[in-house]
Chains A and B, each alone.
Chain A
Amino acid sequence: MDTVQRLSQQLRDLRIPFTEDFSSQLSTTDFIIDSIFGFSFSGEVREPFPSVISALRNSKIPVLAVDAPSSWNIETGPPDEGPGKGYNPDALISLTAPKPLVKWFEGRHFVGGRFLTQAMAEKYELDIPPYEGLDQVVEVPANK
């Protein structure tokens, strides 16, 4: 099994439910995590995700996006058309470092990556934010 298959098995062993109907599940949800597309996304939202991203955009349930709001361009931010047009999640967690799209993001912004060496941060011209205590994440101001 590859990594994600093993992760799925770990969830099944905890009896964590899997649903095949995203929209119906929303009526019994307090918070959503959007881990559909990340920093390697480029352009096309394939089935069955267009309707899911539309639901994320239209839902009043708060959303935490992982690394990027799904369907946003990593460098140029929110799309001008398609299901993600107008999608602005309530929160974003940038992994390792913020991507250029944070310039257009207006919600609460967290960064996670408390393993990066100072040498790697310098090589890739990144900042290591001030993590506190045992936290793996830190909230940072909006990049606007």
Chain B
Amino acid sequence: MYIDDRPSTQSHFDSFPPRHSTSQHFQSLRTPIHSHSSIIMALRTLGPKAAAALDQELMSTGAFSLDQLMELAGLSVSQALFKLQPPQKGNRILIAVGPGNNGGDGLVAARHLWHYGYKPTVYYPKQPKNELYQVSGSI
């Protein structure tokens, strides 16, 4: 269904590589990190109100679920950790988890890291309570 969903005038491969990857701006990011850093344009930023609006749009008209966005975020966190600290350099990871969605990203990362061969430990002091299912307490 994926191929069929595309306009018939455009093949599946026309979009590879993405057009933007050849632009001057993005090519400059491929140069070694820290070299010429003063002349590399920084990525544009997203303020807190715009970030909340973007998330809301993704989860309404964008048709993403909260679970999906959290999974993608946590997967990204786990990959960044792998690039910073491959498991053979020391695999004991302590994850401080806050009460909101940022904490959820950490919980997803913990799961991926376990499957990559790390030994995650989770500090999660403000867990939501549920009358039907008690999740507090430690193992």
Instruction: List residues of chain A with CB under 8 Å of any chain B CB.
Output: 1-5, 7-12, 14-20, 22, 25-26, 28-42, 48-49, 52, 56, 61-62, 64, 66-68, 70, 74-75, 90-91, 93, 95-100, 102-103, 108, 110-115, 117-118, 120, 124-130, 135-143
The answer to whether A17 and B130 touch (CB under 8 A), given A36-B97, A97-B43, A137-B83, is no
Number of contacts between A and B (CB, 8 Å)? Answer: 273
Q: Which residues of the other chain, B, contact A39 by a CB distance below 8 angstroms?
A: 48, 51-52, 102
Judge whether B98 and A37 touch: CB under 8 Å: yes
User: When chains A and B are docked, how far (Å) is the Cα of A100 from the Cα of B7?
Assistant: 38
A36 contacts B79, CB within 8 Å? no
Q: A11, B107: Cβ atoms under 8 Å?
A: yes
Number of interface residues of B (CB under 8 A): 79
Cα distance A103–B47 in the bound complex, in angstroms:
12
* A30/B92 contact (C-beta < 8 A), A18-B138, A124-B46, A130-B30 known: yes
Chain B residues close to A by CB (< 8 Å): 18, 20-21, 25-26, 29-30, 33-34, 37, 40, 42-48, 50-55, 57-58, 62, 64, 66-67, 70, 72-73, 75-77, 79-81, 83-85, 89-98, 100-111, 114, 120-128, 130, 133, 135, 138-139
On chain A, the residues within 8 Å of B135 by CB distance are: 1, 5, 8-9
Residue of B46, B58, B79 near A136 (CB, 8 A) is: B79
Contact B107 A4 (CB under 8 A): yes
Distance in angstroms from A2 CB to nearest chain B CB is: 6
Cα distance A124–B54 in the bound complex, in angstroms: 8
Inter-chain contact B66/A38, CB cutoff 8 Å: no
**Is A33 a contact of B93 with CB atoms below 8 Å?**
yes
Q: Which residue of A lies closest to B42 (CB)?
A: A143
